[in-house]
Amino acid sequence: MAGGAAPRLFVREATGLTKDIRPLDIFVYNTNNQNIGIGVAFILLLVPALYPGASMGLGTLLSCLIALPMATVYAYFASVMPRSGGDYVYVSRTLHPVLGFMSGWNWVAWMTLYVGIPAAFFGQYGLTGLFRMLGASLDNDGLLRLGDRFSTDWGIFLAGTALTVFFGIVFWRGTRLYFKMQNVAFAVATLGLVLAAVILLLSSQDRMVSAFNEYAVSLGGPADAAQRVIETAKSQGFVPDAPFSWYQTLISMVWPLYIVLFAITSSFLGGEVRQARKTQFLGMPVSVLYVTAWMLVLIALVTRVAGSELLGALGYLYPEDLQQAAGMAFAPTYNELVGMLVISNPLVVLFLGISFVFWTYVWLPINYLASTRAMLAWSFDRVFPEKVAYVNPRTHTPTWAILIVGILGEFALVAYVLNWVTNISGIFGWLISFILTCAAAVAFPYRRRDLYETSPFRREVAGLPWISIVGAVGIVGLLIAEYAFWKDPIVGVVAWPWMKWVIRGVFVTGFLWYQGAKLVQRQRGVRIEQAFAEIPPE
C-alpha cells in the first residue's frame, strides 16, 4: 500500500450505536433470558418424571451457587471493558485473539439456534395452552381446535416465523423500542406469576385433582383423568416417590442450570449500556438471585397443590398416551394447571394465558439482539465482512447483522420443527465459552495489568486478585455443570453422540474463519492481531 494511507486497525472510530440501555432494561433483559416461566415449566414436568429421587429445590439452589461466580466474572468484564461483543472482547484482549473469536463464534452459533427454538415455543407452549384454557373456560370447540393446531409442526413453524419477522422489524426500527416493549411485557408476565402464586396459595391438592378431572372432561377425557394419567405412567415405568438420590439431583440440575447460567447475555450490549458498573452487576448476579427465588417459590407451591406424582406422570407420558388417558393432546404447563383451578373465570384464565405467552418466546429477541452485537464487534476488528459493521445513521441499528441473524434463526426454527435439534443438547458446547471467560478472569490481572490497575475493582484476598479467585471458582462450578450436561441420559451429550461432532465443528470452523480473515487482511496490509492490543471503539 505504498503511497497510500495506512489502513486503520478498526473499520471506523465509533460504532454508531448509542448508550440507550438503562439499568432496569438490563435487569429485565437478563431476568428474561433466565426465563422463570419456561424454566419452572420444564423443571416441574421433567425432573419428577425422568430423575427418580432428585430434589427440585436442592438442584435449583445448587445451580444458583454455580451460576453466581460466573455471573460475577461477566459483570466484572462488562464493567472494565464496556464494549459490544461479550466473550469475544474479553477473551481476545486477555488470553489470545483466536481464542476470543472461537469463543464468540461458539456463542453466536448457539444463540442463533436459540432464536429458532423459542420461536417454536411461542406456539408450542404459549398459544396452545392459552387457547386450550380459553376453549375449556368458554366451552368453545373452535378455540380448543385452534390450540391443538398450534401444537402441530405447521402451527409451530408459522407462529414462530411471524414472531421472528416481527422482532427483526422491531430491531431495525431501534433498540429503544424493543426495551420499552420488553419492560411492559415483563410487567405483565410478572403479574401473571404473582396471580398464579396467589391462586396456588388458596388451593389444595384435592381441589387440583377435582379441577384436573373437570378440565379433562371438557376436553373429551374421562372423569377420573388424574388417576388414569398416574396409572398409565406407572404401567410404562414411571417411578414416583423414589428415595432421595444425590446423583439424580446432580444430573437433573441440567434444567435449572439451563435457566440461571444465562444471566450474562447483556455482556454483548456493553457499548450501549449506561452506568455499566452498576447496571451489569444489577443485571447479572442480582438477577440470578431474583430468578432463583421465584423458581423456588413456584416449585414449592405447584408441588404442594398438584403433587409430584401427577406432575411426574404428566411429564413421563408421550402425547398419544396422554390423549388417551386425559383427552389432552400435549402436556399442560404449570400455568395451565393453575388455570384449571379458576377455569370458571374466563378473564382470569385469559390473563394467566397471555402472561405466560410472554415467557415462552423471550429467548428469541434476547439472543437475536446479542448475536447482532457480536457480529458487529467481529466486523469492527476486520475478522468479519466490513458490510456487517454498517449501522443505520437514523435508527442506530446494524441493519445487515439484523438480517443475517433473522435468516439463521429461521433455519434454526425449521431444524427444531423437523426434530434435527433438541432443546438443550448443545449447552455442553456453549459452556466452553463460559469457561474460557472465567479463565480470562483468572489471568486478567497479570496479562492486562494496565486495565486491572485502573479498574475500580482492584482488590486482593490473601495476596491474590479477587477476580482471579472468582474466576477459578467459576471454572470449578462450570466443570460440575459440564459433567451434568454430558452425563444426562435424556438430553446430555451421551444421549446424542453426534452432538460431539457439532461442538467440535463449531470450534474448528471458528478457528479456520479467524485464520482465513487474518490471511485476507494481511494481503490488504492490515495486521488484525494489532487491534487486539486495544479496547475496541465505543
- Tell me what the mean pLDDT of segment 522-537 comes to: 82
Residue 19: predicted pLDDT: 81
Measured in whole angstroms, how far is the alpha carbon of residue 315 from the centre of its chain? 21
- Which residue do the cell numbers 401444537 mark? 151
DSSP three-state, residue 95: coil
Identify the pLDDT of residue 321: 95
DSSP string, 4-45: SPPPPSSSSS-------B-HHHHHHHHHHHH-HHHHHHHHHH
pLDDT reported for residue 530: 79
Query: Please, are residues 316 and 50 in contact by the beta-carbon 8 Å criterion?
Result: yes
Task: Domain ranges for the chain, please list them.
Answer: 23-443+470-533
pLDDT band with cut points at 50, 70 and 90 for residue 382: confident
Which of the 8 DSSP states describes residue 285?
Answer: I
Per-residue model confidence (pLDDT) at position 1: 39
Q: What is the mean pLDDT of residues 75-85?
A: 91
CA distances from residue 299 to 81, 149, 197 in whole angstroms, order as listed: 37, 29, 10
Identify residue 210 by its one-letter amino acid code.
S
Burial, 502: exposed, middle or buried (Cβ in 10 Å; 0-12, 13-18, 19+)?
middle
Q: Residue 23 above 90 pLDDT?
A: yes
Q: Could you tell me the end-to-end alpha-carbon distance of the chain, in angstroms, rounded to an integer?
A: 28
Cell of 436: 474460557
| pLDDT, position 324 | 94
For domain 23-443+470-533, which architecture applies? Up-down Bundle (1.20)
In angstroms, the CA 360 to CA 126 distance is: 6
Where do we find the cell 445487515? 400
Residue range 133-175, pLDDT digits in tens = 999 999 999 999 999 899 899 999 999 999 999 999 999 999 9
* pLDDT at position 3 over 80: no
Count how many residues are written for the chain: 538
Whether the per-residue pLDDT at 449 is higher than 50: the answer is: yes
Longest dimension (CA), the chain: 87
Please give the pLDDT value at position 421: 80
Q: What is the spatial distance between Cα 432 and Cα 427, in angstroms, rounded to a whole number? A: 9
Q: Would you state the cell numbers that stand for residue 152, as one nine-digit string?
A: 402441530
> What's the pLDDT band for 283 if we cut at 50, 70, 90?
very high
What DSSP character marks residue 464? E
pLDDT digits (tens, 9 = 90+) for 487-521: 999 889 998 888 899 999 999 999 999 999 999 98
Report the percent of the chain where pLDDT is more than 70. Answer: 96
Q: Residue 396's pLDDT is what?
A: 86
Cα 229 to Cα 326: distance, rounded to the nearest angstrom = 7
Q: What does the alpha-carbon distance between residue 502 and residue 510 come to, in Å, rounded to a whole number?
A: 12
Q: How many CA atoms lie within 13 A of 439 on its CB side?
A: 15
Query: Which three cell numbers mark 515?
Result: 485464520
Buried b (16+ CB within 10 A) or exposed e, 255-271: bbbbbbbbbbbbbbbbb
pLDDT band, very low/low/confident/very high, at 401 (cuts 50, 70, 90): very high
DSSP 8-state assignment for residue 273: B
Which residues have C-beta within 8 Å of that of residue 262, sequence separation ≥ 6?
30, 33, 34
Q: What pLDDT shows up at residue 16?
A: 60
Give strand pairing partners of 297.
Answer: none
Per DSSP (E only), the strands in 93-220 are: none
Mean pLDDT for the stretch of residues 430-446: 97
CA–CA dist 377, 16 (Å, integer): 12
Average pLDDT over residues 249-269: 96
Compute how many other C-beta atoms are within 10 angstroms of the C-beta atom of residue 220: 12
How far is residue 526 CA from its own chain's centroid? Answer: 37
At 206, the pLDDT band (50, 70, 90 cuts) reads very high
d(CA 195, CA 190): 9
Instruction: Give the tens place of pLDDT for each residue, 300-337.
Output: 999 999 999 999 999 999 999 999 999 998 899 999 99
CA distance 175 to 449: 34
Grid coordinates representing 514 are 479467524
Q: Are 325 and 317 in contact (CB under 8 A)?
A: yes
Give the Cα separation of 396 and 175 in Å (integer): 8
Q: Full-prediction pTM beyond 0.95?
A: no
Mean pLDDT value across residues 442-460: 89
pLDDT band at 51 (very low <50, low <70, confident <90, very high): very high
Q: Report helix, strand or coil for 54.
A: coil
In this predicted structure, the answer to whether residue 2 has a pLDDT above a threshold of 60 is no
Q: Which of 242, 207, 267 is nearest to 434 (CA)?
A: 267
Residues 476, 482: Cα–Cα separation, whole Å: 10
Residue 266 has pLDDT above 90, yes or no: yes
In angstroms, the CA 260 to CA 73 distance is 14
Q: Spell out a b/e string for 143-163, using b for 16 or more CB atoms within 10 Å of the CB, else e.
A: bbebbbbbbeeebbbebbbeb
- The rounded distance, in Å, linking the Cα atoms of 50 and 30 is 29
Identify the DSSP state of 122: I
Cα–Cα dist 87/103, whole Å = 6
Q: How far, in Å, are 248, 323, 412, 447, 468 from residue 72 at the CA level? A: 28, 46, 31, 19, 11
